Chains A and B, each alone.
Chain A
Amino acid sequence: MRNKILWAVIVVGILIGGGIFWLNSDITHKKYETSGIKTSPMMQLSDNDPRFETWGKYFPDYLDMYLSIEKSKPKPTDFGGNLSYSKLIRYPQLTVLWAGYAFSADFNEERGHFYAQNDQMSTARNHKDFLNSWGLKAFNGQPTACMNCHSGWVPWLYKNVAKNDWVVFNTTQYWTMIKNVPVMDGQAPDSEAHRGLHGGTKMGLTCADCHNPDDMSLRITRPAAIKAMIVRGYQPDPVAGIKASRQEMRTLVCSQCHVEYYFRPTGEKVTVMGESISKDPNAKWWNGTQKTYEETDIWRNGNKPIEISADGIELTFPWGEWKKGKPFRIEMLDDYYDKISNIFPSDWVHRDTKAPMLKIQHPESEMYSGGVHAANGVSCADCHMPYIRKGSKKITQHNLISPLDDINSSCKSCHTQSEDYLRNQVYTIQNSVAFDLRSAEYAIVSLIADIKYMRDQLGKISTYQTDGKPDDAKISKALGKILELHRKSQMRADFVNAENSGGFHNPKEAARVTLQAVDMARSAQTLLAEVAAQNHIPFKASSLGFKDMQKLNPGELKWKADVNGHKKGDRYYDEKDVNIDPPKDLIKLDEEINPYNYKVLDKNITTH
C-alpha cells in the first residue's frame, strides 16, 4: 500500500516536474525572443547573390513568412486575393474590351511576389507561338522591360549582362535575358535547383529588391522608379535610390512596381544580345517564319548568345504631369499620353473599333495617392505588412497578401471598431465601386458593339470606300471623336479594374473615374446616333448587361492548334491551380452587384 502511494507520488511528481520545466523553458524562450533581431557582422550579403534563401539564413522568420504563400492554400477575397482563377471567365467583358490584345487571351488573378517570375514564364502572353496560333500574330514576345518587376535577379542582370545600359537591358528579348541568370553553387544549368521555384530562373521578388544588404534599410533598386520619382521632384540618393523618410519609403518601395507604365521607344537602334538560333534555317515558329529566339530559360542544343541590332525601348512611368506631394488624377494620363502620341500612339489597336487603345497596368500608387489613408500618412506597409507577433517578437508581416486576411493586425492598429464593422466598411466600399466599374464596362462593351455595327454600315456607303472596298482610315476619320471617347472611357475603366483594391485605395476617385467612363461611353453612343442619322443608317444604341457578358465566357485557356507538341484542345497551363474557374459565389456576387440587389448585398449590413 505504502509502495503504491510512493509510486503515485513519484509518477505525479515527475509529470508535474516535467510540466514545470517545460513552462520554465517557454518563459525563458519568450524572454530571449524579445531581445530582437540583430544584424551580425558575420553577415555577408550582397547584390551578387540576391537569392532569398541566402538572405533568409539570417532572417529565418521573414523567409518563413515569405515562403508561407507557397505552402498555404490560396485565398480569394471578393475582388482580389491570391487564388489564380481566370479573370476572363469571371469578367468575360474583358475579352471584348481588350480584343486584339494578348490580355484578351490570357489573364489570371495574380499569385503574388514569390510567383512573379514563374507566372511570367508560364503566361500565354509571353509565348509567341501560342499567340500566333490564336490569331495575335502582331505580338513579338515580351522584352526584358517586362522582367523589371518580376525577378530579384534584375539588378544583377542589369549590371552584368546589360553593363548598366538601361535601354539595352529593356530592349533585349525577355527569353534571351533570362538565359543569363547565373547558375549558382555549381548546379547544372538544366537542373531543378536552377530552374525551379527556389532556384534561379523562376525566382520571383526577393529581400534585396527592397532592402539594402548592409543594414536592411529600405531602398529603391529599379531605375524606372528612380527616374520617374526624380521627374516628380524627388532627390536621388546613391544608397537608397531617392531621398525620403522611412515612412515614405514604406510606400515608395512598393511604387517601384505597383504603377502604370509603358515602353517608351527611344527612336534609336541599339546592339543587344540575341540568340544564334535566329541563324538556324530549320528553326521556325508555328506559322513557318524564322525563329528569332527560343522560348525557354536556358541555353541548349548549341544555341549561343550573339549580337543583334534592335529598336530601343525603355520602361517609363507616365508621371510627367504628376508633381511630388500632389494627388494623382486620371486627367494627368490624358495630358501625358496626348503629348507623346506621335512617339507612343497606343498599346494596341482595338480589333473591332480600330481605336488606338491604352491598357492601364496595376496603378496602385497613383490611385492610393489621393485617398484618405494617404492623406493621413498611412503607408502601403502599414496595412499590407502590418506588425504582428511571432512568439514574443514584434515583426512586420512579409507574406504580402490582402489586409482582409488579418484585419485585426492591419486595420485595428488605428481603427478601434470591431473586425466585423471594419470588414463591412471594406465590403460596402468595394461593392459600390464594383457597381460603378461594371456599369462602365457594360457601357463600353455596348459602345464597342455599336461602333462595330456602324463601321460595317459605313463601309457599305461609297463615301467611305476606296476602290469599292470599305476604307478603314476614312471610317475612323468620320468616327474620330467617338474613337477618342472609346479610348479614354476604357482607359478609365481599366484604371479602376487594374488597380488591385476594388477601389478601396481611394473610393471617391474610383467613383469619379468610373462615372467619367460611363459618361464618355454613353456620350459616344449619342454621337454614333448623329453619325447614323447623317448617313441614313438605322441605329438603336445597345445596352448590354451581366447576362450578355456571361455569353462571352471564353472558358479555360486551351491550345487552338497543334503547337510545339501540344495538341489542339489541350489545356494550356500545366499547373492545375492556375487559370481555373472562379469560385461560384464570386460569380453569384457579380450577378447581384449590377443591377444592385440590396436584398442580398446589404443583408449583413446594419446602421446604428
Chain B
Amino acid sequence: MVIVAVFVVVVGLGGAFYTFYNAKGFSYLSSNSAACNNCHVMNEVYDDWNKSSHREVATCSDCHLPHEFIRKWIAKAQSGIGHAYAFTFDKNLPMHFSASKKTQEIVQENCINCHLPYVQNVVNPTLRPEHQDKSLKCVSCHQGVGHSRGF
C-alpha cells in the first residue's frame, strides 16, 4: 500500500515536473518577451512589438507589469493563472483583445515611470483628481509605440 502511494506521488510529481517543463514554465519567471509569446494568442502583438519603436528599450513586462517587486510578482501570478486558465479551457477566446481597466492603469503608470522627466508638464495636469475618470491616457494618442494594434 505504501509503495503504491509513494509510486503515485512520485509519478504525479514527475508528470507535474515534466508538464511544467513542456509548458516552458521556467520562462515565465523571466522578463523575456518571448515568454509571453509561448501562448499563441500573443503571436500578432509579439510580431508587432518586434517591429515597434520600444523593442530595444522595453519588454512586454516593462509596460504591462508594475515595477515594484512585490506588486510585480502578485500581478504576474494573478495574470498568469488567469491567462493559463483561459488558454487551456476557453474555447472561444476572441481574435482581438481589449485592454482591461487594470491593464490601462498599469500601462499608464509605466509610461510615466520612464518618461516623466521629459513629459511632466503634460502629465502632471492630467493626473489631477478631476481628470482621473475620463482623462486621455498616453496610449490614447501614441497607439503604435508598443504594438501597432491599439487594444
Contact = CB atoms under 8 A, between A and B. Distances in A.
A409 interface: yes
B18 A24 contact: yes
B16 A416 contact: no
Contact of B23 (A27, A386, A406, A413): A27
Interface in B47-63: none
Contacts of A34: 40
Contacts of A416: 143, 149-151
A20 B95 contact: no
Contacts of B5: 6, 9-10, 13
Contacts of A468: none
Nearest to A418: B98
B96 interface: yes
Given A9-B9, A24-B15, A416-B149, A3 B95 contact: no
B95 A386 contact: yes
Given A6-B5, A23-B88, A408-B95, A13 B149 contact: no
B95 A24 contact: no
B129 to A, nearest CB: 22
B92 to A, nearest CB: 10
Contacts of A9: 5, 8-9
A408 B40 contact: no
Interface in A1-43: 3, 6, 9-10, 13-14, 16-17, 20-21, 23-24, 26-28, 30, 34
Nearest to B99: A416
A215 to B, nearest CB: 24
Contacts, number: 70
Contacts of B43: 394
A523 to B, nearest CB: 48
A409 B22 contact: no
B19 A20 contact: yes
Chain B interface, >50% SS class: helix
A7 to B, nearest CB: 8
B15 A389 contact: no
Contacts of B98: 418
A446 B1 CA distance: 92
Contact of B94 (A26, A28, A387, A408): A408
A392 interface: yes
Which residue among B16, B18, B93 has the maximum number of chain A CB atoms within 10 Å of its CB? Answer: B16
A388 interface: yes
A14 B11 CA distance: 9
Interface residues of A, number: 30
Chain A interface, >50% SS class: helix
B9 to A, nearest CB: 5
A420 to B, nearest CB: 11
B47 to A, nearest CB: 11
B22 A413 contact: no
A284 to B, nearest CB: 57
Contacts of A418: 98
Contact of B41 (A28, A386, A389, A413): A389
B12 interface: yes
Contacts of A413: 95-96
A412 interface: yes
Contacts of B9: 9, 13
A389 B40 CA distance: 9
Contacts of B94: 408-409
Interface of A: 3, 6, 9-10, 13-14, 16-17, 20-21, 23-24, 26-28, 30, 34, 386-389, 392, 394, 406, 408-409, 412-413, 416, 418
Given A6-B5, A20-B15, A23-B23, 6 more contacts: A9-B9, A17-B11, A24-B18, A409-B95, A413-B96, A416-B151
Interface of B: 1-2, 4-5, 8-9, 11-12, 15-16, 18-19, 22-23, 40-41, 43, 88, 93-96, 98, 143, 149-151
13 contacts: A9-B5, A10-B5, A16-B12, A16-B16, A23-B88, A24-B18, A30-B40, A392-B40, A408-B95, A408-B96, A409-B94, A413-B95, A416-B151
